[in-house]
Amino acid sequence: SVLPYAPSIMTDQVGYQPDETKTAVFRDVTSETSFSVVNADSGQVVYTGELSAPTFYSSADENNWTGDFSAVTEAGTYYITCGGLDQSYSFTIGNNVYDSLLDDSVKMLYLQRCGTEVKDSTFGHVACHNTLATVYHTNEKIDVSGGWHDAGDYGRYVVPGAKSVADLLIAYDANPELFSDSIGIPESGNGVPDVLDEVRYELEWMLKMQDSQTGGVHHKVSCENFPGYVMPETETDELIVTPVSTTATADFCASMAMAYEYYQKVDKDFAEKCLNAAKNAWAFLQKNPNFIFSNPSDITTGDYGDTSDIDERYWAAAQMWRATGEDTYRTALESMRVQNGMDWMEVGDYGNIAILTMDGVDTNSDLYTRAKTSILKEADKMKGFSQSNPYGVSVSKYNWGSNMGVATSGMILNLAYQMTEDSTYLDTSRSNLHYLLGNNAMGECFVTGYGTVSPEHPHHRPSMAKNQAMKGMLVGGVNSGLEDSAAKAYCANSPSAKCYVDHWESYSTNEITIYWNSPLTCLLAMNSTARTP
Ligand code: 9MR
Ligand code: ZN
């Protein structure tokens, strides 16, 4: 069946760290008032707790009870029972529960590499998309090989690429020791954490997307249309580079400024190259007002269009200020209103994070306080959303890629915790993670290859071509917009929180992208304790 089982007891299917708040959600309860946590190896009941009073969760059209089992802290594998209900799927409690998931969430990006041979027993392939690309409506051919395939398709787009880079560098910064040099990419063992090697692969491609004359950055490269469900090297149509946009240029500027900072210790020349590219992009932005992209009519691949580039410019100014300390950028930043957002369209909070986590920043400055106020206001809103449903997820509306919003909310909440030490923010950051890993109305772990029930038919061309889901990918998740034929067919009568279908054709609920994986990596990094041997 394409529909998942419908468990009556939902938990994070991967697991919990010992000392955190742990909550299971129940439905279909008849007369029970208590639940038990059972050690899966010994069969012993290790904890019995009381169910909460039921609440009606209208978005899922169900009555829910919750059960707190935070008291269970001993490492082990467990499941939960409640009267005659089917037991929950099993899950682990332990210090290292997320380590392999973290590694695979990064390894997936290696498997998305374009323009190079990829080595893998299932998803390996020869170099793809290596021909010169035509600059749209010109005779000019340029080399823009490299980077990661964006998603289930093989387009490469600067805007979402910059977001992924940012999430991953923030992830590394949040918990450097967690990132190993042995996840199994060609650069493993070179003395540099693999996440930095992997991000560099994308950055090197982004550098090729910058116009050397003007400093402007091309919005994207793809063929005219999406290919069939084939492996990447089979897509051999002409590659087209679309015109420069100011959203791509500003996002590029910001991520190159970040790269300058993070690659100083790894490769100083590369770091300098990134800063120069960022400066050239900035110069282009100063000369060119809002220069908004939308697909030319003959190109039907991903659009990543936008109506405003103010938030992108805000992020660029913040990263440039942080990278150089120069007043030009500070002045530019001060002249803009605070911006928000952490998706591909709205990126202002990346600017706020740059300011708030900047070394030696004056915490009494106006720039700092307004960024902090803004982040805390958002965190409070997200906490409010999470309190309005039993799953503790910070969603008010389920749209395309809702799981990305869940992950980035978790990031904002974690940041709020770091600034305030208010543990309710930390709990909510983690409840968003637990939603992604199984504690949701679908009873589904939304990362392929993890948990008991996870997507087996993601809209992802390599997985479709090999008839096997690549591991470590976060799918878009619940989307009540019903924006593809499978979602329309399977979810027409579903309440909003259950509009998800594990079907190859459901690109609006079951696709994967690099920029949905990257905030998952970051959320895991922010919420994990150090690796223990
Ligand atoms: O993630 C994008 C989502 O926010 C939009 O609503 C949707 C429709 O425009 O497009 C999504 O991005 C897709 C991109 O255009 C092409 N590659 C696959 C992306 C994920 O579905
Ligand atoms: Zn490719």
Residue 72 phi, psi (nearest 5): -80, 110
Question: Strands across the sheet with 23-26, in order?
Answer: 9-10, 23-26, 62-68, 55-57
Ligand 1: which of 148, 229, 303 to mutate, judged by most atoms within 8 Å of the beta carbon? 303
Q: 133-140: long-range contacts (C-beta < 8 A, 24 or more apart)?
A: 133/221, 133/238, 133/239, 133/240, 133/241, 134/238, 134/239, 134/240, 134/241, 135/218, 135/241, 136/240, 136/241, 136/242, 136/243, 136/296, 136/299, 137/296
Beta carbons of 151 and 461 less than 8 angstroms apart: no
Q: Which two tokens mark 63?
A: 């009555």
Topology, domain 103-361: Glycosyltransferase (1.50.10)
Cβ of 513 less than 6 Å from ligand 1: yes
Q: Which two tokens mark 522?
A: 């970051």
How do the residues of the chain divide into helix, strand and coil, expressed in percent and rounded to 5?
A: 40, 15, 50
Helices (H), 20-176: 99-111, 158-174
Cβ of 509 less than 6 Å from ligand 1: no
Residue 353 phi, psi (nearest 5): -65, -40
pLDDT of residue 436: 98
Ligand 1: which of 149, 153, 157, 398 to mutate, judged by most atoms within 8 Å of the beta carbon? 153
Q: Which two tokens mark 376?
A: 């805390």
Index of the ligand 1 atom closest to the CA of residue 304: 15
In three-state secondary structure terms, 148 is strand
pLDDT of residue 533: 59
* Intervals of the chain under pLDDT 70: 1-5, 532-533
Residues β-bridged to residue 151 = 513
Cβ of 401 less than 6 Å from ligand 1: yes
| C-alpha 510 to ligand 2 mean position (Å) | 21
Cβ of 103 less than 6 Å from ligand 1: no
Given the structure tokens 């249309």, which residue do they identify?
225
Positions annotated as catalytic residues are: 153, 459, 502, 511
**Is the ipTM of this structure higher than 0.85?**
yes
The domain ranges of the chain are: 103-361
pLDDT of residue 6: 82
pLDDT of residue 294: 81
| C-alpha 442 to ligand 2 mean position (Å) | 33
| C-alpha 479 to ligand 1 mean position (Å) | 12
CA gap 63, 5 in Å, rounded: 18
